[in-house]
Structure 1
Amino acid sequence: MKKPADPKPHDFDFAIIGSGLAGLTMALHLADHGRVALFAKDGLVDGSSLYAQGGIAAVLSPEDSFESHVQDTLDAGAGLCRESAVRFVVEHAPQAIRWLIAEGAPFTTHDGRYHLTREGGHSQRRVVHAADATGRAVETTLAAKAAAHPRIHILTDHIAVDLITSAKLGVSGPNRCLGLYALNKTTGTVDAYGARLTALATGGASKAYLYSSNPDTSTGDGISMAWRAGCRTANLEFVQFHPTCLYHPQAKSFLISEAVRGEGGLLLLPDGTRFMPDYDARAELAPRDIVARAIDSEMKRLGLDAVGLDISHKGRAFIVDHFPNIYERCLGFGYDMAQGPIPVVPAAHYTCGGILTDLRGRTDLAALYAIGECAYTGLHGANRLASNSLLECLVLGRAAALDAITGLATSHPPVALPPWDESRVTDADEGVVVSHNWEELRRFMWDYVGIVRTNKRLERALHRVALLNQEIHEYYANFKISNDLIELRNLVQVAELIIRSAQSRTESRGLHYSRDYPEPDRTRPARDTVLTPPHFAQACRLPGDHWP
């Protein structure tokens, strides 16, 4: 169906920045209620959701229960999950799965029922999946729906530069989000897009690290833009390192799904010895933070480049049936999972903290939502339970949409936005500065703010990030912007927030492990690390039942 012409092509009811599972879910729920702009900084399906392998956790079996799923999530979160958030997401999980099925998601079945697998940290089989490529299956299914909808306007190759707020423009009344500036990567122009309501669904920031399982788009864009607009962040020190990424120079940290261990895969040293039972009674099925630290410890103790992950004892037929995509990718790199162990290492995988929101996706700034990995609802606490991430995208994407539909009637109409001003900048003459700073950032974040941290390492990292910030600010002020400069600017900002959050936590908990404070602080209740920007946007105070 041909989409109707727009009288004001840059004014929308809803602007959603990010086209992963959270953004697509929100867009599809909103599309019958207003004009939706969906921004994708590369292709429509190039974000992290596409690469999720394991599945989506939900209570779908009579042997399972909400209480069990809640408890597993709380246990993994190491005392920092907000139970109200956990219960909200868990109890809405079956509804989210039914919606996906109705939209056409091709989940794997067995004997006429949806097949449920088990992953680390789960006490039951509750992970519904599409073979070993769940993210690709659900992302492409919803992307096709969005592309066909006449009221969803998809802007690919558009990277958001910054949010536009009424305070920045001097508009009277309470501060609120008015839309965004976005760079059209095809034309090189920056345009202003007005929206009654705007949502950030930009994913995480794992590309701040040298080794990551994430695509190159995971540069913390939404978190940085929200911070600059006056929104608080929470718990950014909790960066989840996936324990098992394929170790190969050309693999670019190809993820080996949690489900491989869930289905019996064993972690081995070069001599064939298991080591996980020495670290945790749950062995290979322990939560990711425990498994990642154990692998890191053994690699450093023995000077190893990688450890082995072995599921060959299950037989070729089982492996090919359960993990067809992983099996083929490993074969392409010269490793046969059916013949013996494959080499794996930890890599930065998931940003557990993010923009502080309530359970409707609302941020501190009026008319601005944040959903998915860029947001912090309290679901994940100090460590994310496997396969709760896609679930959060679905549940909070729908919750934010329902709130936005209600709020549209009382929202402010788009105002005239000033065009992007490039009158005082020139073409960049030293592009190497951007690439060099990018490499420097990722290296020192890996070395100093990685799986194991110390006060001295964090001090060194903060000193280096301050120097980078100064260079990038000068570069940003004097030269025309590019995709790489925007991403670097955002990554450095998020890196600073991660470091500052880590410095303020004087204990080890979940994904944050400090040699200076190797135990949890038991002298007081567990607390969130909330950072407040200099220009705190107090226009939209979050409800007290979620955040005091």
Structure 2
Amino acid sequence: MKGREYSNGMLPAGQYPKSRRYDVIIVGMGVAGLTVALSLDKKLRIALVSKNSLDESSTYKAQGGMAVAAGTDDSAAQHAADTLHVGKGLCSKESVAVLTREAPAALDFLQTMGTRFCKSEQGLELAREGGHSRKRVVHHYDFTGRHIAEVLARQTAGRSNIECWEDTFLIDILTNAQGCCGCLVKKKKQTLQLLAPAVVIAAGGYSGIFGRSTNSVAANGDGIAAAYRAGAVITDMEFVQFHPTAVTLPTGKVFLVSEALRGEGALLVNAAGERFMPNYHESAELAPRDEVSRAMLAELERQQGGCLYLDARALGQDYLMERFQAIYAELAEHGYFMEKQLIPVLPTAHYTIGGIKTDLWGQSSIPHLYACGESAATGVHGANRLASNSLLEGVVFGRRVAAHIHDNSRNPLQTADFSAAERRKRHSLPPVALLRKKMDVTAGVVRQGRELKDMTEWLHQQQEANRQEEGQPDFSADNAYLLAGLLVEAALLRRESRGGHYRADYPVQNDRDFKKHSIHVWGKKVSLQ
């Protein structure tokens, strides 16, 4: 298929960027992307693309651990049952079965790569987190994600067939008559075509479009936005998980305080120092995250403002300093000492469930375009993610993507089509900080139809009123505004409450009308299917 003229502001119309050819392109250097790269045949030439350094990835910031049924009182079936329960009727049972059944193999893979999970005399040390009926979270103290990311990155650095493209921004996905054939990227001031028979989007989620987020502001769903413009099916964008316990440090930084603390006995208390979660849920502090977050807001309303706190004093200094090394050090550096102080916490945007719709092998609706990790909507999480299933999903489905590429990638490269890039409208939008502030208010833990409608109209007005004809476009801001629009549209359409989506004007789960998935496809209105 003949490529169309590219006229998006970086090159004159009719000119094409220089190209580099690979066997596989992977966008994203978190656990999912690194797993794909390390699981592919060493004979394949791989481009590993990332816009940020490793320590900016969501994987690197993950504290708790990875869920796997490794205990003698546990099983894949029980792990699956807990996952389905938390997902509130929207999980794919097939995807959940794959996730939980292949969890031991994922654990073996990480250990073979060099990951060292904490152990006791009985074997792997297992923790319990919200929504789990058993202790099943393997961990490396309280910086599991960082440890895994560093181990896998070292392995990647030792592979001569993997070329790392750091500080490289994904502009758009390129297609031809056979499907996806590469991507358009920008490194410094140079725009390039990276071409390959298979492209994997593992670029993370979009919680960075919220002002209060545990993740980097760079987590604004660039890979999802690019896939959407290329014509891929996007699903479940309204479902956002808000982690109950994050503290705002004196510097203004929002810092996650792991759920594992509550698993070890830490309690949530109100301004009067009273434990309140048993009043809201039978599982108290270990209820699913969406229910704990809503209970916290209800308690704040009941006490008419003030603060809520995490009370870990009963765990003692020695245990806290050993088991929760990173959290203790970060809090202590800012004057919080868990063994003697209450830690002020509030729910915070943490994980986004929506993304590129895939099958069990990570294939999107566009041939030869794959997705895994938080960029993908595999069907595993349903309406709300079970704690510590995210690292597991990245490894399980990253390995499956690599296996499918190995068995099926025979797509001969042809000239790329720039039509997806042409769909990117150029805007001079208001600062993204304003968008994030408005998303906190409109699309947070509790939503209202009237506010969602107003937000939809505001977003449309910004797009129409701020068309840019000259100058360099801000691709990151464009993506943030685009995905905010998809999220708000889906949230407005879903007139019920389920998992990570709660409508105060429709507070009841409605299976008859809404046990469906929101679907976004370029050029079509959002629908439920």
Q: CA deviation at 1:416?
A: 6.5
Given the alignment of the two structures, is residue 131 of structure 1 paired with residue 141 of structure 2, yes or no? Answer: yes
The equivalent residue for 2:433 is: 439
Q: CA deviation at 1:525?
A: 6.9
The equivalent residue for 2:491 is: 502
Given the alignment of the two structures, is residue 145 of structure 1 paired with residue 134 of structure 2, yes or no? Answer: no
Q: Tell me, what secondary structure is at the counterpart of 1:412?
A: coil
- How many angstroms apart in 1 are the aligned matches of 2:143 and 2:340? 22
1:80 to 69, 72, 90: 90
- How many angstroms apart in 2 are the aligned matches of 1:251 and 1:449? 21
- Equivalent residues of 2:19, 2:193 under 8 A apart: no
Q: Tell me, what secondary structure is at the counterpart of 1:493?
A: helix
- How many angstroms apart in 1 are the aligned matches of 2:211 and 2:220? 12
1:308-457 equivalences in 2 (<5 Å): 308-408=309-409, 410-413=410-413, 415=415, 436-457=430-451
- Equivalent residues of 1:20, 1:45 under 8 A apart: no
Q: CA deviation at 1:516?
A: 1.4
1:61-100 equivalences in 2 (<5 Å): 61-100=71-110
- Equivalent residues of 1:251, 1:333 under 8 A apart: no
Q: CA deviation at 1:531?
A: 2.1
- How many angstroms apart in 2 are the aligned matches of 1:524 and 1:303? 35
- How many angstroms apart in 2 are the aligned matches of 1:55 and 1:240? 17
Q: Tell me, what secondary structure is at the counterpart of 2:364?
A: coil
Change over 3 Å in CA distance of 1:283–1:181 after alignment to 2: same
Change over 3 Å in CA distance of 1:106–1:150 after alignment to 2: same
- Equivalent residues of 2:55, 2:61 under 8 A apart: no
The equivalent residue for 1:181 is: 184
Q: Tell me, what secondary structure is at the counterpart of 2:170?
A: strand
Deviations 1:229-252 (A, max 9, x none): 001111111100110001334251
Deviations 1:395-430 (A, max 9, x none): 00000110011122x212254788x999xx9xx9x9
Normalized against structure 2, the TM-score is what?
0.92
Letter in 2 for 1:183: K
1:49 to 43, 48, 59: 59
Q: CA deviation at 1:300?
A: 3.4
Deviations 1:58-108 (A, max 9, x none): 011121111110110011111111111101000000100011001000211
Q: Tell me, what secondary structure is at the counterpart of 1:165?
A: strand
The equivalent residue for 2:217 is: 216
- Equivalent residues of 2:354, 2:376 under 8 A apart: yes
- How many angstroms apart in 2 are the aligned matches of 1:49 and 1:22? 9
Change over 3 Å in CA distance of 1:471–1:90 after alignment to 2: farther
Unpaired segments of 5 or more residues in structure 2? 1-17
- Equivalent residues of 1:469, 1:493 under 8 A apart: no
Letter in 2 for 1:286: A
Deviations 1:46-68 (A, max 9, x none): 21100000000001112111111
Q: Tell me, what secondary structure is at the counterpart of 1:32?
A: coil
Q: CA deviation at 1:357?
A: 0.5
- How many angstroms apart in 2 are the aligned matches of 1:17 and 1:393? 14
The equivalent residue for 1:104 is: 114
Letter in 1 for 2:56: D
Change over 3 Å in CA distance of 1:181–1:322 after alignment to 2: same
Letter in 2 for 1:298: E
RMSD between aligned alpha carbons? 2.3
1:467 to 416, 438, 461: 461
Q: Tell me, what secondary structure is at the counterpart of 2:484?
A: helix
Q: CA deviation at 1:339?
A: 0.5
The equivalent residue for 2:170 is: 160
Change over 3 Å in CA distance of 1:522–1:480 after alignment to 2: closer
- Equivalent residues of 1:37, 1:152 under 8 A apart: yes
Name which of structure 1's ranges 41-50 and 197-206 shifts more when overlaid on structure 2: 41-50
2:33 to 18, 23, 26: 23
The equivalent residue for 2:472 is: 480
Given the alignment of the two structures, is residue 195 of structure 1 paired with residue 196 of structure 2, yes or no? Answer: yes
Report the count of equivalent residues. 508
The equivalent residue for 1:58 is: 68
Name which of structure 1's ranges 105-114 and 116-125 shifts more when overlaid on structure 2: 105-114
- Equivalent residues of 1:16, 1:198 under 8 A apart: yes
- Equivalent residues of 1:363, 1:369 under 8 A apart: yes
Q: CA deviation at 1:326?
A: 0.5
The equivalent residue for 1:231 is: 232
- How many angstroms apart in 2 are the aligned matches of 1:156 and 1:248? 29
Letter in 1 for 2:77: E
**Percent identity of equivalent pairs:** 38
- How many angstroms apart in 1 are the aligned matches of 2:298 and 2:392? 31
Change over 3 Å in CA distance of 1:270–1:129 after alignment to 2: same
Change over 3 Å in CA distance of 1:421–1:260 after alignment to 2: closer
- How many angstroms apart in 2 are the aligned matches of 1:421 and 1:179? 12
Q: Tell me, what secondary structure is at the counterpart of 2:26?
A: strand
- How many angstroms apart in 1 are the aligned matches of 2:511 and 2:85? 16
Unpaired segments of 5 or more residues in structure 1? 1-7, 167-172, 537-546
Q: Tell me, what secondary structure is at the counterpart of 1:478?
A: coil
The equivalent residue for 1:275 is: 276
1:527 to 516, 526, 529: 516
The equivalent residue for 1:543 is: none
- Equivalent residues of 1:382, 1:512 under 8 A apart: yes
Q: Tell me, what secondary structure is at the counterpart of 2:256?
A: coil
Q: Tell me, what secondary structure is at the counterpart of 1:498?
A: helix
Deviations 1:283-325 (A, max 9, x none): 0000000011111222234343531001111211121121111
Q: CA deviation at 1:45?
A: 4.2
Q: Tell me, what secondary structure is at the counterpart of 2:459?
A: helix
- Equivalent residues of 2:241, 2:350 under 8 A apart: yes
- Equivalent residues of 1:45, 1:143 under 8 A apart: no
